[in-house]
Amino acid sequence: MKLIKVETHGFKSFADPVTLRFDGGVVGVVGPNGSGKSNINDAIKWVLGEQSSKELRGDNMQDVIFSGSKIVPAMNKASVKLTFEDPQEGVVTIERVIQRGKGLNQYFMNNKPALHSQIKALAMQSGIGKSSLAIISQGTVSEIAQSSDEQRRGIFEEAAGVSKYKTRKEEAIKKLEKSEGSLKNINTSINELERQLEPLRKQAEKAIKYRDKSRELKEIEIGYLAHEIERLSALSEELNANLEGVQETKESYENDIEEITKKIDRKKIESNELNNEINKLAGVEMALNQTINNLERSFDLENQRLQMIARGELNVDPEQRKKAIFNQIEQLTHQINYYQDIKNDLESKLEESKTFISQKNALLNERRAKFESLNKRKISYETQLRLLKEKQSKRTNLFKGTRTILENKSNFRGFKGIVADLIEVESKYSVAIETILSNALQHIVVDNSDTAVKAINFLKANNGGRATFIPLTSIKEKGIRDDYLLVLRSQPGFVGIASDLVKTKPEFAKLAQFLLGNVIVVDKVDLADKISVLLERKYMVVSMEGDIVRPGGVMVGGVQQESEELLGLDRKIQEMENELPGINSQMSAIQTEIENLATERNQKEHYFREYSSKISANNVLLENANAALEEAKVQASSLGESVQNVGKEAKVNDALEDLNKAKRNLSVTQFDLSAKRSTKATLDDEINALDRSRNDLYKNLKALNNSYRSKIEEANRASSTLAVHKERLSEFYKLTLEFARENFPLQISVEAAGEIIADIRSEIAELGNVNLESIEQLEEVESRYNKLTADRDELVEAKNAVIEAIAELDKIIITRLTNVVHDINLEFNNVFSSMFGGGSAKVEFVDPKNVLESGISIFAQPPGKSIKNLKLFSGGEKSLIAISLLFAILKARPLPLCILDEVEAALDESNVVRFAEYLQQLKHQTQFIVITHRHGTMTRVDHLFGATMQKRGVTSFFTVKIEDAKKLIEEAPEA
**Mean predicted confidence (pLDDT) in 463-474:** 91
β-pairing verdict for 840-845 and 856-861:
antiparallel
- Of 345, 280, 350, nearest to 664 (Cα)? 345
Q: What residues does CATH 1.20.1060.20 cover in the chain? A: 398-563
Q: Is the dihedral of CA 950, 953, 959, 963 positive or negative?
A: positive
313 — pLDDT class (breaks 50, 70, 90): low
Q: At residue 650, does pLDDT exceed 70? A: no
pLDDT at 87 > cutoff 60: yes
Segment of 355-359, 706-710, 927-931 carrying the highest mean pLDDT: 927-931
Lowest pLDDT segment from 222-231, 515-524, 790-799, 918-927: 222-231
Whether pLDDT at 471 is above 90 = yes
**Mean pLDDT estimate for the chain:** 83
Residues 6+ positions from 32 with CB-CB distance below 8 Å: 933, 948, 968, 969, 970, 971, 972, 973
What are the φ/ψ torsions at residue 692 (nearest 5 degrees)? Answer: -65, -40
Strand partners, 520: 497, 541
Lowest mean pLDDT among 382-396, 563-577, 578-592: 563-577
DSSP label at residue 11? B
Least confident of 118-122, 378-382, 387-391, 534-538: 387-391
The CA distance from 368 to 378, in Å, is: 15
Do 458 and 415 touch, CB atoms closer than 8 A?
no
Query: What pLDDT is stored for residue 610 in this prediction?
Result: 79
8 Å CB contact between 94 and 81: yes
Give the tens place of pLDDT for each residue, 205-215: 888 888 888 88
Q: What pLDDT, on a 0 to 100 scale, did the predictor assign at position 967?
A: 64
SS3 letters across 41-100: HHHHHHHCCCCCCCCCCCCCHHHHECCCCCCCCCCCEEEEEEEEEECCCEEEEEEEEEEC
Q: Is 872 exposed, middle or buried (0-12, 13-18, 19+ CB in 10 A)?
A: exposed
Q: In the predicted model, is pLDDT for residue 80 greater than 90?
A: yes
**Residues ≥6 apart with Cβ < 8 Å to 49:** 96, 116, 119, 120, 123, 129, 130
Q: What is the C-alpha to C-alpha distance for residues 812 and 161, in angstroms, rounded to an integer?
A: 10
34 is in an annotated binding site: yes
Check: CB of residue 832 under 8 Å from CB of residue 865.
no
pLDDT value for 687: 86
Residues 211, 213, 214, 218: is their CA dihedral positive or negative?
positive
Residue 974 has pLDDT above 70, yes or no: no
**Known binder of ligand: residue 829?**
no
pLDDT of residue 937: 92
pLDDT winner (highest mean) among 230-244, 317-331, 810-824: 810-824
Mean pLDDT of 486-510: 90
Count of C-beta atoms within a 10 Å radius of residue 975: 9
Q: Residue 394: is its pLDDT beyond 70?
A: no
Q: What is the structure's pLDDT at 549?
A: 92
pLDDT in tens, 524-544: 988 888 988 888 888 999 999
The CATH number that domain 1-134+946-975 falls under is: 3.40.50.300
Residue 648 has pLDDT above 60, yes or no: no
Query: Does 837 show up as a binding residue in the annotation?
Result: no
User: Is 49 within 8 Å of 119 (Cβ atoms)?
Assistant: yes
Torsion of CA 99, 100, 105, 111, to 10 degrees: 10
pLDDT at 642 over 70: no
- Nearest CA to 732 out of 218, 52, 60 is that of 218
Strands 105-109 and 954-959: unpaired
Distance CA 168, CA 782 (A): 36
Can you give the three-state secondary structure of 716-781, one letter per residue? HHHHHHHHHHHHHHHHHCCCCHHHHHHHCCCCCCHHHHHHHHHHHHHHHHHCCCCCCHHHHHHHHH
Residues of the chain with CATH 3.40.50.300: 1-134+946-975
Asked whether the beta carbons of 476 and 512 are under 8 A apart, the reply is no
646 vs 347: CA distance, rounded Å: 31
Closest CA to 610 of 864, 345, 429: 345
pLDDT at 920: 92
**pLDDT tens string 239-282:** 777 777 677 777 877 888 888 898 889 888 988 988 898 888 88
Q: Are 514 and 476 in contact (CB under 8 A)?
A: yes
- Output the pLDDT for position 640: 58
Q: What share of the chain is helix, strand, coil (3-state, %, to 5)?
A: 65, 10, 20
DSSP state of 101: T
Residues in the chain: 975
Does the domain formed by 398-563 have CATH 1.20.1060.20?
yes
pLDDT for 674 equals 74
CA distance 655 to 291: 11
Separation between Cα atoms, residue 497 and residue 270, nearest integer Å: 69
Strand partners, 108: 95, 113
Predicted local confidence at residue 211, as pLDDT = 86
Task: Compute the average pLDDT of residues 692-718.
Answer: 82
Confidence label for 81 from pLDDT (cuts 50, 70 and 90): very high
Q: Are 27 and 943 in contact (CB under 8 A)?
A: yes
37 marked ligand binding residue: yes
39 annotated as belonging to a binding site for a ligand: yes
Q: Would the pLDDT of 470 be above 90?
A: yes
Which pLDDT belongs to residue 638?
67
Q: What is the pTM of this model?
A: 0.42
pLDDT at 973: 47
Q: Is 896 annotated as a binding residue?
A: no
- Average pLDDT score over residue span 471-495: 89
- Model confidence at 748, in pLDDT bands (50, 70, 90)? confident
Q: Do residues 906 and 879 lie in contact, with contact meaning Cβ atoms separated by under 8 Å? A: yes
The residues that bridge with 113 in the sheet, in sequence order, are 108
Considering only residues 396 and 958, tell me which one the structure prediction assigns the higher pLDDT. 958
In this predicted structure, what is the pLDDT of residue 653? 53
Please tell me the distance from the alpha carbon of residue 595 to that of residue 280, in angstroms, as a whole number: 29
Say yes or no to pLDDT of 126 above 80. no
Tell me the average pLDDT across 365-372. Answer: 88
pLDDT of residue 930: 94
Share of the chain above pLDDT 90, in %: 18
pLDDT given for residue 574 in this prediction: 67
Taking the CA atoms of the chain, what radius of gyration do you get in angstroms?
69
User: Taken in order 339, 341, 342, 344, is the CA torsion positive or negative?
Assistant: positive
pLDDT for 676 beyond 80: no
Q: What is the three-class DSSP state of 464? A: coil
| 444-446, strands of its sheet edge to edge | 415-418, 444-446, 469-471
689-695 long-range Cβ contacts below 8 angstroms, 24+ apart: 690/260, 690/263, 690/264, 690/267, 691/264, 693/260, 694/257, 694/260, 694/261, 694/264
- Give tens-digit pLDDT for 13-54: 999 999 999 988 899 999 888 888 888 988 988 998 888 878
C-alpha span between 841 and 890 (Å, rounded): 16
